[in-house]
Chain A
Amino acid sequence: MKKYLSIFKISFAQEFAYRVNFIMWRVRNVLQILLVFFLWSAVFTNPQTELFGYNRDKILTYVFGIFILRALVLSSRAVDIAGEIARGELTNYLLKPINYIKYWFTRDISSKALNLSFATVEIVILYFFLRPTFFIQTDPLQIFLFLVAVVFAVVMFFGLLVLVNFVTFWLPEGGWASQFLIIVIFTEFLSGAVFPIDILPEAIQNVLYALPFPYLMFFPLQVYLGKLSMTATLQSLLISGIWMMFMIVVINQVWARGIKKYSAVGR
C-alpha cells in the first residue's frame, strides 16, 4: 500500500512539473463547457420552459455537474499506456514489484484529485460570471446513490480507457486511433457530456442504456437531479455495477494475453 501512496504523491507533484500543460488543459475544459452552458441557456431563456423533463435550474445544474464529473470521471493519466507499450517502456514496469494496472489506477486517482480541486475553483469563478440558478439535492439517499454511481463511473472509465490502450499490444500504431474513437467521440457524446441522453428518441435511448457510456456521467446526474424513480435508480446502478465488474475482469484477462504478445519493440 505504501508504494502506491508514494506513486500517488509523485504523480501529484509531476502534474506541477508541467504547469503550462496543466493550465492549458484546465482552460480547455472551461472553454468546452461554455458552449454547452450557453446553448442550454438559450433553449431555456424563459425560466418557465420545461423540456425533456428539465427546467432551467435542472439543466444548468446538469451542465455544471458535467463540468465536475469531467474532472472526476474523465480526467485520466492512463492515456499514456498506449505510448509506453508501443515504445517498449512497459519493460521497466515488468521488472518492478508493482502491479501495472494498480499503478495506473493510483496515478489516475492522483490526477482526478488535482483536476477536481481546480474544477471546484473554476466552478466558483464561473458561477460569479454566469450566475446560473441551481438545483440543490437535499435527499441524503439520493446523494448517497449519486456518489455510488460516481464511484462506479470512475472505475468503469478507467477500465474502458485501459482496455482501449491495451489494443496497442496487438496494433502498435492503433492505440491513438482507438482512443480517439472510443474515448473522444463515443464517450463525449454517449456519456451525456454534450447533451442529456434523454433528449434522444426512446428507441435510441434503450440501445444506449445497454452500453457503459451513459453510466459515466449522464446516469449519476440523473440520480442527483432526482429524475429517476427508486426502482429505475437501483436497476441502473445494478447495470452500472455489472459494467464496472466486467471492465475489471476483462482488463485483467486482456493484460494476461497482451503481456504474452508484448515484444518490447523500440527497446
Chain B
Amino acid sequence: MMSKNAFLAMLNHRMGVVIFTAGKVLRFTFFGAFIYFLLSKTNTLAGYTLHQTLFFFLTFNLIDVISQFLFREAYRFRPLIVSGNFDLILIKPINALFRSLMGGADILDLFTIPPLIFAVYYVGSLLDPTASQVILYIILVANGLVISTAFHIAVLSLGIITLEIDHTIMIYRDLTNLGRLPIDIYKQPLKGVLTYLVPVGVMITLPAKAMMGLVTPVGVAISFALGFIMMTLMLRFWKLALKQYTSASS
C-alpha cells in the first residue's frame, strides 16, 4: 500500500520522473562506455580484464539500484524530523524503522532493475563461472544488501540525533561509488578503510570476486560476520536514536 501511494505521488510529476530516469540510464551508459573504451586500449585494469571490470561495475549498479529502490524513503526522512511529523509515524501501528526506511519504494527502478539483472547475467556468463560461484555470488549480493540496509539505518539514526541527513546519505553514496571499480585500484590505507571500516569492498567487490573464483572461505566468513555485526549494531543505534528524538517542532 505504501509503495502504491509512492507510485501515485510520483505520477503527479511525470515529466520530471521521465527526465530523471533518463539521467540515471545515461549515467550508467556513460560510465559503462568509459570502461569499455578505456580497457579496449589498456586491456586490463588492476589485473582485471574488460569483462571482469564491467562485471564489477554491473554488480555495483545492481546493489546500488536495489538499495535505492527499497530505501528511497530514507531520502525524505529529514523533513519529517525537522517538522516533527515523525511523531505521526511513531504513533501509527507500523514499525517506525520499516516505515522510514521502506515506506516509499522507488517504483521507477522496477523498470531499470530487470535490464540490469539481464546485463549481470550476460556479462557474468562470459566469465564462465561454476554453479557454486554463481550461488556464492547471489548470497554475497544479498549480504551486500544487508550491509547497505545497516548503512541506511545508521543514516536515519544520525538524522534523528543530528538533524543532518541529506549530506550524510550523499557521503554514503559517494563512498559506495568508490566501489564502481574493484577496490584493488586503491592504495593503503584507503583500501583497508574501504574493506573493513566502510565495507564497500565487502558489499560490492567481494560478490563480484566470488563470481570469478577469487574469494577465500575466510573472506566469505568475514563478510557474513560483518553483515551480521553491522545489522545488529545499527538496530541498537536506531533504538538509541529514538530515545533521543525530541519532536522539537511538532
B235 to chain A, nearest CB (A): 25
Q: Is A140 located at the chain interface by the 8 A CB criterion?
A: no
Q: Is the CB of A189 within 8 A of B186?
A: no
Main secondary structure of the interface of A (DSSP, over half): helix
The residue that A181 contacts in the complex, of B23, B33, B37, B175, with Cβ under 8 A, is: B23
Q: Is the CB of A25 within 8 A of B19?
A: no
Q: Is B13 located at the chain interface by the 8 A CB criterion?
A: yes
* A188 to B190 alpha-carbon distance, docked (Å): 24
Q: Is A51 located at the chain interface by the 8 A CB criterion?
A: yes
Given A25-B167, A199-B38, the answer on whether A173 and B27 have CB atoms closer than 8 Å is no
A178 partner residues in chain B, CB cutoff 8 A = 19
Q: Is A10 located at the chain interface by the 8 A CB criterion?
A: no
Q: Is the CB of B38 within 8 A of A43?
A: yes
Q: Is the CB of B19 within 8 A of A42?
A: no
* A52 to B171 alpha-carbon distance, docked (Å): 32
Given A35-B177, A189-B30, the answer on whether A28 and B171 have CB atoms closer than 8 Å is yes
A52 to chain B, nearest CB (A): 7
Q: Is B228 located at the chain interface by the 8 A CB criterion?
A: no
B40 to chain A, nearest CB (A): 10
Quick one: CB contact mask for B1-32 with A, threshold 8 Å, 1 for yes?
A: 00000000000110111111011001100110
Quick one: CB contact mask for B163-202 with A, threshold 8 Å, 1 for yes?
A: 0100110110011011011001111001000000000000
B61 to chain A, nearest CB (A): 15
Q: Is B110 located at the chain interface by the 8 A CB criterion?
A: no
Closest to A51 in B: B41
Q: Is the CB of A194 within 8 A of B34?
A: yes
Quick one: CB contact mask for A118-139 with B, threshold 8 Å, 1 for yes?
A: 0000000000000000000000
Q: Is the CB of A43 within 8 A of B42?
A: yes
A49 to chain B, nearest CB (A): 9
A241 to chain B, nearest CB (A): 27
Q: Is the CB of A27 within 8 A of B15?
A: no
Considering only residues 29-50 of chain A, those with a C-beta below 8 Å from chain B are 31-32, 34-35, 38-39, 41-43
* A173 to B187 alpha-carbon distance, docked (Å): 43
**Interface of B toward A, CB cutoff 8 Å:** 12-13, 15-20, 22-23, 26-27, 30-31, 33-34, 37-38, 41-42, 45-46, 164, 167-168, 170-171, 174-175, 177-178, 180-181, 184-187, 190
24 interchain pairs, CB-CB under 8 A: A20-B167, A24-B164, A24-B171, A28-B174, A31-B174, A35-B177, A38-B186, A41-B187, A43-B45, A51-B42, A173-B15, A173-B16, A177-B16, A177-B18, A177-B19, A180-B20, A185-B23, A185-B26, A186-B26, A188-B27, A194-B30, A194-B31, A195-B38, A199-B38
Closest 4 A/B residue pairs (Cβ) = A24-B167, A177-B16, A177-B19, A42-B185
**Interface of A toward B, CB cutoff 8 Å:** 20-21, 24-25, 27-28, 31-32, 34-35, 38-39, 41-43, 51-52, 171, 173-174, 176-178, 180-181, 184-186, 188-189, 194-195, 199-201
Interface contacts beyond A52-B41, A174-B16: sample of 12 additional A-B pairs, CB < 8 Å, sorted by A? A24-B170, A24-B171, A31-B177, A38-B185, A39-B45, A43-B38, A43-B45, A51-B42, A171-B15, A173-B13, A180-B23, A185-B30
